[in-house]
């Protein structure tokens, strides 16, 4: 029986989010809140390992109360339990303070049921740092395995895991002791359409919600804005790429023109590092 | 083992949610299934929500619900190519609680309404499509969704699956609607600064106004255009009977472009930024098109039952009323020992037809068809009205008596005048 915990976050859908041109900050009201796509794959991998080895999948998140929705999404995917830490004391946290708060939550979850494996998404789509997973592993003093794209084996009896890590030009096979922490790539799995019983379970599910007072041995100076040494000095949207050409004419003419471009512009098909 | 509920409601629009809310409040174990990402994400209407029905369900809902503006002015425009005759009523009695009606954005409002049903104890699942009703021994006993392990059972299934109601159709309750039974509406939500809206439409605070636009807005085809004010956006749309669009080979989005660029309407939306583009079918066949609404273990509500009063642009209120009546019927049937057969649920049909919903549909049963048969109301009489107004109000030294004579002559020959009188009489007859 494995106890796998996935760390998840609710994020604004950055595919459609708008930037406030005056303040150069994200206009969070302009985009719906979704489960961070990488985290969905983390939960799915945990659910698959549960199917393979038996066990329990928990998810944990830090966020404002509406983030319950993200936990429910994880229940739809197949998680069994959801834990949320929510408190004003956590607000304004950078990755350092976030990993500290999540570590405290994980320590509390481990007291309920010892944890064998922690799985995180590779990064969030609103922060793009990928620092929280390794941060948690460092604080818990367990091996961080980043860019995991395949789990070969989890052997609890002998206390090891074998995985593939994605590299620029291939992958490496790594064996690690358990417990450890994976942060996973999107291509580790595909998330299937959830079965109806999961949907009903998610609709009824009420997660465990903890405030800072529910956590033990917390150094409050390491939480939230106070515990965040990161300073964001400037945010700006990337410049829109210039150039390009809009094809005109009848559909047939446009296709001809497109073919001509594709056949003459060899640089479109150049492979990085040669043929 | 598939789960069983007391009632499954398919579709979280105004009809389905009103039904689920009423059932849950009475302690009935009800499941509400929505195909969209969240309730409202796939729902479209011009944008006016009437207070009365909603207020009956959740008293003083407007204090908490995400309504945009309360309407204090309704304008009716008879549009010609470069002119308009407008009739308007602005009443400050509508500027105070409990208000008369509101503009709403359905994506926000429906979500809020469904949340209230959940608070009452209804279970809501999104992103799930009901493929068919499960029928056993001539009785609907559940639904089959598109999800794995997707069967669910219930004593009663309420079909609130909207205008196309594939579910009611698959049960044989109605055939594919004819093009003269449905209107196609397209609409844009245009972002506009709050302050500009208030200046442009002479509004204060949360006051709102609505325009209903007839005539050239649909280039003579039976239909209307509309312009409604939200908090910091306006809805502009146009809808016309599908049969008319087909006959005149018009594309709805071209019609909307025409309306947006019409010289009389253009100034109202100048400087807007397009936010959303929506299109939807509206069931406008009225009383004659109403399908069977009750079967063994099944009730049809809202748009799925064609409950729209096209003449008075009412639909969501009728939908809610039908949802509540369906819920009341089910609650009563449960109390009476649980006869959910067609006979046991027939009270819904009876109550529906006796309510304002049935009565209004009956009253206007020939209106849409009448106006469609006689297009000159739109392509002839409205331009005539505009010419008459222009004559009357242009000061050019012509004596008024002569002007009246010109207007009279503009009505055409004696035969044409007779035909016009007959048309107006008939219009009055179908509307009375």
> Where do the structural domains in chain A lie, given as residue ranges?
2-222
User: The domain B4-66+105-176+288-354: what is its CATH number?
Assistant: 3.50.50.60
**Stretch A91-120: mean pLDDT, rounded?**
96
Contact A195 B3 (CB under 8 A): no
pLDDT tens sequence across A121-159: 999 998 889 999 999 999 999 999 999 999 999 999 999
Q: Which residues of A86-97 are buried (b: 16+ CB within 10 A; e: fewer)?
A: bbebbeebbbbb
Least confident of A202-206, A242-246, B252-256: A242-246
**Stretch B39-45: mean pLDDT, rounded?**
84
Considering only CB atoms, which chain A residues are within 8 Å of B41? none
Contact B125 A204 (CB under 8 A): no
- Which of residues B425 and A122 earns the better pLDDT score? A122
Q: Is the pLDDT of residue A19 over 80?
A: no
Q: Which of residues 66-125 of B touch A (CB under 8 A)?
A: 123-125
Q: Is the pLDDT of residue A271 over 70?
A: no
Q: Is the pLDDT of residue B13 over 60?
A: yes
Does the complex come out with an ipTM higher than 0.95? no
CA distance B32 to chain A (A): 11
Going by pLDDT thresholds of 50, 70 and 90, the confidence category of residue B420 is: confident
pLDDT above 90 covers a percentage of chain A that reads: 73
CB B163 within 8 A of CB B182: yes
Q: Which CATH superfamily is domain A2-222 in?
A: HUPs (3.40.50.620)
Contact B150 A193 (CB under 8 A): no
Residue B369 confidence (pLDDT): 67
Q: Is the pLDDT of residue B122 over 50?
A: yes
CB B221 within 8 A of CB B241: yes
Substitution target in B124, B128, B142, B143 with the highest count of A β-carbons within 10 Å is B128
Nearest CB to B123: which of A32, A195, A200? A200
Going by pLDDT thresholds of 50, 70 and 90, the confidence category of residue A247 is: confident
Going by pLDDT thresholds of 50, 70 and 90, the confidence category of residue A217 is: very high
Contact A199 B125 (CB under 8 A): yes
Q: Is the pLDDT of residue B262 over 90?
A: yes
Residue B226 confidence (pLDDT): 93
**Stretch A96-107: mean pLDDT, rounded?**
96
Going by pLDDT thresholds of 50, 70 and 90, the confidence category of residue B431 is: low
Q: Is the pLDDT of residue B74 over 90?
A: yes
CB B62 within 8 A of CB B112: no
Least confident of A37-51, B76-90, B169-183, B346-360: B169-183
Query: Where are the domains positioned within chain B?
Result: 4-66+105-176+288-354, 182-283, 369-431
Contact B123 A203 (CB under 8 A): yes
Q: Is the pLDDT of residue A274 over 50?
A: no
Q: Is the pLDDT of residue B209 over 90?
A: yes
Average of per-residue pLDDT values in chain B: 89
pLDDT above 70 covers a percentage of chain B that reads: 97
Q: Can you tell me the distance from the alpha carbon of A108 to that of A200, in angstroms, rounded to the nearest whole number?
A: 28
Q: Is the pLDDT of residue A273 over 60?
A: no
- Which of residues B299 and A261 earns the better pLDDT score? B299
Residue A240 confidence (pLDDT): 78
- Which of residues B409 and A47 earns the better pLDDT score? A47
> So what's the architecture of B182-283 in CATH?
2-Layer Sandwich (3.30)
Q: From B129, which residue of chain A is nearest by alpha-carbon distance?
A: A196
């Amino acid at each position: 029986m494995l106890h796998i915990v996935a760390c998840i976050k609710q994020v604004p859908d950055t595919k459609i989010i708008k930037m406030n041109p005056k303040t150069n900050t994200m206009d969070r009201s302009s985009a719906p809140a979704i489960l961070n796509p990488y985290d969905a794959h983390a939960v799915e991998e945990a659910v698959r390992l549960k199917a393979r080895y038996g066990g329990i999948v928990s998810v944990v998140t830090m966020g404002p109360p509406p983030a319950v929705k993200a936990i429910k999404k994880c229940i739809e995917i197949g998680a069994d339990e959801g834990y949320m830490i929510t408190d004003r004391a956590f607000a304004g946290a950078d990755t350092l303070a976030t990993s500290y708060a999540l570590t405290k939550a994980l320590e509390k979850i481990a007291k309920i049921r010892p944890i064998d494996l922690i799985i995180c998404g590779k990064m969030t789509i609103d922060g793009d740092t990928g620092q929280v997973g390794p941060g948690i592993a460092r604080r818990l003093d367990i091996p961080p395995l980043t860019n995991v794209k395949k789990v070969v084996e989890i052997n609890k009896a002998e206390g090891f895991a074998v995985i593939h890590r994605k590299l620029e030009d291939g992958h490496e096979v790594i064996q690690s002791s358990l417990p450890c922490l994976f942060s996973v790539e999107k291509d580790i799995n595909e998330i299937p359409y959830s079965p109806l019983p999961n949907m009903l379970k998610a609709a009824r599910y009420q997660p465990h919600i903890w405030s800072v007072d529910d956590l033990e041995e917390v150094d409050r100076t390491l939480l939230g804005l106070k515990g965040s040494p990161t300073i964001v000095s400037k945010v700006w949207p990337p410049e829109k790429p210039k150039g390009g050409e809009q094809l005109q004419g009848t559909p047939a003419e446009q296709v001809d023109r497109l073919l001509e471009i594709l056949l003459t512009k060899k640089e479109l098909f150049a492979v990085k590092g040669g043929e | 083992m598939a789960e069983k509920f007391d009632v499954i409601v398919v579709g979280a629009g105004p009809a389905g949610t009103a039904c689920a809310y009423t059932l849950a409040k009475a302690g009935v174990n009800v499941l509400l299934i929505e195909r969209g990402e969240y309730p409202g994400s796939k729902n479209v209407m011009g944008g006016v929500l009437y207070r009365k029905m909603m207020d009956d369900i959740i008293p003083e809902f407007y204090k908490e619900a995400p309504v945009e503006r309360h309407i204090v002015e309704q304008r009716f425009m008879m549009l010609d190519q470069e002119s308009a005759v407008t009739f308007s009523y602005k009443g400050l009695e509508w500027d105070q609680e409990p208000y008369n009606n509101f503009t709403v954005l359905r994506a926000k409002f429906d979500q809020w309404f469904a949340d209230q049903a959940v608070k009452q104890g209804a279970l809501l699942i999104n992103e799930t499509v009901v493929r068919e009703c499960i029928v056993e021994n001539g009785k609907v006993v559940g639904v089959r969704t598109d999800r794995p392990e997707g069967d669910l059972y219930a004593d009663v299934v309420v079909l609130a699956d909207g205008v196309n109601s594939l579910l009611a159709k698959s049960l044989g309750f109605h055939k594919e609607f004819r093009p003269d039974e449905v209107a196609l509406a397209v609409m844009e939500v245009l972002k506009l600064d709050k302050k500009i809206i208030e200046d442009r439409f002479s509004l204060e605070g949360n006051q709102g106004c609505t325009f209903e636009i007839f005539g050239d807005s649909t280039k003579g085809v039976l239909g209307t255009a509309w312009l409604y004010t939200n908090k910091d956006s306006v809805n502009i749309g146009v809808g016309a009977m599908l049969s008319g669009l087909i006959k005149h080979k018009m594309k709805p989005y071209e019609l909307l472009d025409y309306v947006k660029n019409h010289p009389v309407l253009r100034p109202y939306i100048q400087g807007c930024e397009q936010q959303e583009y929506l299109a939807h079918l509206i069931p406008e066949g009225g009383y004659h098109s109403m399908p069977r609404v009750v079967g063994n273990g099944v009730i049809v509500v809202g748009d799925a039952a064609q409950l729209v009063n096209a003449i008075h642009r009412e639909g969501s209120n009728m939908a809610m009323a039908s949802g509540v009546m369906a819920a009341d019927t089910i609650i009563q049937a449960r109390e009476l020992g649980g006869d959910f057969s067609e006979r046991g649920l027939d009270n819904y049909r009876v109550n529906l037809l006796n309510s304002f919903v049935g009565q209004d549909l009956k009253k206007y049963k020939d209106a849409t068809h009448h106006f469609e048969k006689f297009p000159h109301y739109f392509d002839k009489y409205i331009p005539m009205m505009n010419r008459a107004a222009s004559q009357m109000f242009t000061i050019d030294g012509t004596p008024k008596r002569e002007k009246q004579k010109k207007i009279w002559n503009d009505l055409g020959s004696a035969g044409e005048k007779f035909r016009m009188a007959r048309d107006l009489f008939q219009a009055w007859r179908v509307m009375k």
